[in-house]
Amino acid sequence: DTRAIQQLDSAHYLHPFTDFKDLNSKGARVIVRGQGIYLWDSEGEKILDGMSGLWCVNVGYGRTSISEAVYRQMETLPFYNSFFNTTNVPATRLAAKLVEISPPQFNHVFYTGSGSEGNDTNLRMVRRYWDLMGFKERHTIISRHNAYHGSTVAGASLGGMDGMHAQGGLPIPGIVHIGQPNYFESGRGMTEAEFGIEAAGWLEAKILELGPEKVAAFIGEPVQGAGGVIIPPATYWPEIQRICDKYGILLIADEVICGFGRLGAWFGSELLGIKPDLITFAKGVSSGYIPLGGVLVGDRIADVLIGQGGDFNHGFTYSGHPVACAAALENIRIIEDEQLVKQVANVTGPYLRRKFASLRDHPLVGYADSYGFVAGLNLVRKKAEVVHDCELFTPELAVGMICRGHMFNNGMIMRAVGDRMIIAPPLVMTKAEIDEMVNKIRYCLDKTLADLQERGLA
Ligand code: PLP
- Both 134 and 226 in one domain: the answer is yes
- Both 378 and 416 in one domain: the answer is yes
In a domain, 29, yes or no: no
The backbone torsions φ and ψ at residue 82, rounded to the nearest 5 degrees and listed phi first, read -120, 30
In a domain, 31, yes or no: no
Q: Which of 151, 256, 296 to mutate to test the pocket of ligand 1 (most atoms within 8 A of CB)?
A: 256
Q: How far, in Å, from the CA of 287 to the mean position of ligand 1?
A: 13
Report the nearest-CA residue for atom 7 of ligand 1.
Answer: 150
Q: How far, in Å, from the CA of 254 to the mean position of ligand 1?
A: 9
Predicted local distance difference test score (pLDDT) of residue 89? 98
Find the CATH number of the domain harbouring 244.
Answer: 3.40.640.10
Instruction: Provide the number of structural domains found in the chain.
Output: 2
Q: Which of 287, 311, 337 is the last residue of a domain?
A: 337
- Both 124 and 245 in one domain: the answer is yes
> For the segment 187-208, what is each residue's pLDDT rounded down to a tens digit?
999 999 999 999 999 999 999 9
Measured between alpha carbons, how far is 325 from 69 in angstroms, rounded to an integer?
A: 10
Q: Tell me which residue range forms the domain holding 404.
A: 36-59+339-454
Q: Which of 281, 283, 290 to mutate to test the pocket of ligand 1 (most atoms within 8 A of CB)?
A: 283
> For the segment 407-448, what is each residue's pLDDT rounded down to a tens digit?
999 999 999 999 999 999 999 999 999 999 999 999 999 999
Q: Which of 318, 337, 356 is the last residue of a domain?
A: 337
In a domain, 1, yes or no: no
- Both 98 and 166 in one domain: the answer is yes
Q: How far, in Å, from the CA of 283 to the mean position of ligand 1?
A: 8
- Both 155 and 43 in one domain: the answer is no
- Both 237 and 110 in one domain: the answer is yes
In a domain, 249, yes or no: yes
- Both 262 and 177 in one domain: the answer is yes
Q: Which of 313, 337, 361 is the last residue of a domain?
A: 337
- Both 401 and 303 in one domain: the answer is no
> For the segment 61-106, what is each residue's pLDDT rounded down to a tens digit?
999 999 999 999 999 999 999 999 999 999 999 999 999 999 999 9
> For the segment 237-263, what is each residue's pLDDT rounded down to a tens digit?
999 999 999 999 999 999 999 999 999
Do β-strands 250-254 and 278-281 pair in parallel, antiparallel, or remain unpaired? parallel
Measured between alpha carbons, how far is 305 from 53 in angstroms, rounded to an integer?
A: 36
- Both 332 and 345 in one domain: the answer is no
- Both 296 and 351 in one domain: the answer is no
Model confidence pTM above 0.90? yes
Measured between alpha carbons, how far is 225 from 180 in angstroms, rounded to an integer?
A: 12
In a domain, 23, yes or no: no
Which letter, b or e, does each residue of 339-372 get, where b requires 16 or more Cβ atoms within 10 Å of its Cβ? Answer: ebbebbbeebbebbbebbbebeebebbbbbbbbb
Burial of 108 (0-12, 13-18, 19+ CB in 10 A): middle
Judge whether residue 365 has pLDDT over 90.
Answer: yes
Judge whether residue 28 has pLDDT over 80.
Answer: yes
Which atom of ligand 1 is nearest the CA belonging to 283?
15
Which atom of ligand 1 is nearest the CA belonging to 258?
3
Pair 332, 266: CB distance under 8 Å: no
Report the nearest-CA residue for atom 13 of ligand 1.
Answer: 115
Measured between alpha carbons, how far is 185 from 208 in angstroms, rounded to an integer?
A: 25
Predicted local distance difference test score (pLDDT) of residue 341? 98
In a domain, 28, yes or no: no
213 CB-near residues (< 8 Å, 6+ apart): 135, 137, 138
Predicted local distance difference test score (pLDDT) of residue 25? 84
- Both 223 and 351 in one domain: the answer is no
Nearest to 56 by CA among 309, 237, 225: 225
Predicted local distance difference test score (pLDDT) of residue 163? 95
In a domain, 239, yes or no: yes
Nearest to 434 by CA among 348, 372, 343, 358: 348
Judge whether residue 8 has pLDDT over 90.
Answer: yes
Pair 182, 236: CB distance under 8 Å: no
pLDDT band at 167 (very low <50, low <70, confident <90, very high): very high
In a domain, 137, yes or no: yes
Q: Ligand 1 pocket by C-beta < 6 Å: which residues?
A: 54, 114-116, 119, 148-150, 221, 225-226, 254, 256-257, 282, 293
Instruction: Flag whether the ipTM exceeds 0.85.
Output: yes
Strand-pairing partners, residue 218, are: 142, 251
My answer on whether omega of the bond before 171 falls inside 30° of 0, hence cis, is: yes
pLDDT band at 23 (very low <50, low <70, confident <90, very high): confident
- Both 348 and 296 in one domain: the answer is no
